[in-house]
Structure 1
Amino acid sequence: MKNHQKKTEQTLQIPLVIQQRCGFTDAETLAVMAADGVCVIHKGKMTALELIRVITALSELASDMTIHLAKACGLCNNCGDENPEAGTECGCGNNPAEWVANCSLCHDLLDESQSIHIPDYLLEEAGIPEGAKLEAYTDGDSGEITVVEADIQQDINDVPPCILSMLAQSGICLAALDELIMQESIIYGK
């Protein structure tokens, strides 16, 4: 009896030169880790030294990409305005973490109290999906505040706190990062 079921499984062909460089053998089972925007293929079984080599390669890649991101954002220079020596005007000296901490633009992005929080039942009544980003504006005459679903649904709040903290401690301009995220700018592979 033949099985007439359509095969929906796809195969990935890895060029032989890459397999050899990775040390993959034909009989070896490979493991795949997939996340948003990334796929990692590695040996399914590894010795301690092989695992250390994978960790080293991934760490180097993460470091290189972090440097690339930092260059795209630049150093925080709000307190130094357009001066090339960021931070010196406000007394921050050469401490990159203080450049960000003393920059009103970057500091506000880290301030949780700047976020708009509306109860879920009100969002539901307004037809706004749970978890949607919100923005507010005021009517100066009436004193009313209107909250609506933001046109842009990705911003610096989507960056994991550990990455955001590392960038802030390095003096990276968080306002520039926020703008790159909201504009969906291509900053890698140009």
Structure 2
Amino acid sequence: MKFNKQLSNGGLFLPSAALKISGFEDSGQVEIHALKNTAVIMKQQMTAMELIQALDSLNQLFINLSFHLAKTCGACSGCEGECPFGDFEYDKIELDDDLRKEAGIPTDAKLSLYVDEEDHTITVCEAGYDHDLRDIPPYLLEMMAFSGICLGELEERLIVGDIIYGGSTRSRKECEDE
């Protein structure tokens, strides 16, 4: 069961109903696993069956989130290497810190590469966005591709920074304008 709560003064109050559904006793100890963009609260001590049930619950959440992502991005239409969104074979682009400084590009900025075949030149510049497919761990990207998720649509949503979970789907710009 999902509960939506507003953070208050940097803290979070858990409803007693959520604790009861989760099987937490009133005076039991809990572990809080703080992870990227998520937190998991677990009993500090569990029996083998409780641990298996926790694993199953986390697996179901993983499946539900994966399904949501697949539904949002749509299915790959079987472009078979000719995706209209482009080529997803990326090499990591690196520049010496001194060159970045001279060009005014922050050391942590993502870089893009543009090839001009006529002039036989390559232009390296700041990408102007925070994330693309290169930021997805390879095992997850492979799983998404195998599942038939449209990687082109996924990359578009990564580049634009769309909010794709929770409420209506909105672009990052729409959220910032509010």
TM-score (norm 2): 0.76
Secondary structure of the residue that 1:64 maps to in structure 2? helix
2:76–2:151 contact (8 Å) kept in structure 1:
yes
Q: Which has the higher contact order (CA 8 A, sep 6+)?
A: 1
Which 5+ residue runs of structure 2 have no aligned equivalent?
A: 1-8, 169-178
Please give the secondary structure, in 2, of the residue aligned with 1:186.
Answer: coil
Candidates 60, 69, 90, aligned match of 1:112: 90
Query: Matched residue of 1:34: which SS?
Result: strand
Alpha-carbon distance change, 63 to 141 in structure 1, aligned in 2, over 3 angstroms:
closer
Cα 1:107–1:167 shift into 2, 3 Å: farther
CA distance in 1, matches of 2:21, 2:144: 33
**Which has the larger Rg?**
1
Distance 1:104 1:14 in 2: 45
Which residue of the other structure, out of 162, 172, 179, is the alignment partner of 2:139? 162
Pairing of 1:96-135 with structure 2 (within 5 A):
99=80, 102-105=81-84, 108-109=87-88, 111-113=89-91, 115-135=92-112
Shift of 1:122: 2.1
Q: For 1:143 and 1:107, how far apart are their aligned partners in 2? A: 21
Say if 1:10 and 1:125 are closer, same or farther in 2 by CA, change over 3 A: closer
* TM-score, scaled to structure 1: 0.72
**Deviation string, structure 1 residues 119-147 (Cα, Å, up to 9, x no partner):** 34422332322242112346677544332
Instruction: Give the superposed CA RMSD.
Output: 2.5
Which residue of structure 1 aligns with residue 165 of structure 2?
188
* CA distance in 2 between partners of 1:11 and 1:30 (Å): 16
Show the 5 A alignment for 1:3-152: 12-77=12-77, 79=79, 99=80, 102-105=81-84, 108-109=87-88, 111-113=89-91, 115-137=92-114, 143-152=120-129
**How many residues in Structure 1 have an aligned counterpart in Structure 2?**
159
After TM superposition, the structure 1 stretch with the greater mean CA deviation from structure 2, 129-138 or 57-66, is: 129-138
Q: 1:122 to 1:22 in 2, by over 3 A?
A: same
| 1:112 partner amino acid | Y
How far does the alpha carbon of each residue in 1:3-55 deviate from its partner, in whole angstroms, 9 at most, with x for none? Answer: xxxxxx96543222222111111221111111222111111111111111111
Q: Deviation digits for residues 82-141 of structure 1, max 9, x if unmatched?
A: xxxxxxxxxxxxxxxxx4xx33457721x134x433334422332322242112346677
Q: Does 1:175 align with 2:148?
A: no
**Cα deviation, residue 170, structure 1:** 1.7
SS at match of 1:187: coil
Identity of aligned residues (%): 39
Change (3 A) 1:74 1:145: same
Query: In the superposition, relative to structure 1, how do residues 62 and 136 fare at CA in structure 2: closer, same or farther (>3 Å)?
Result: same
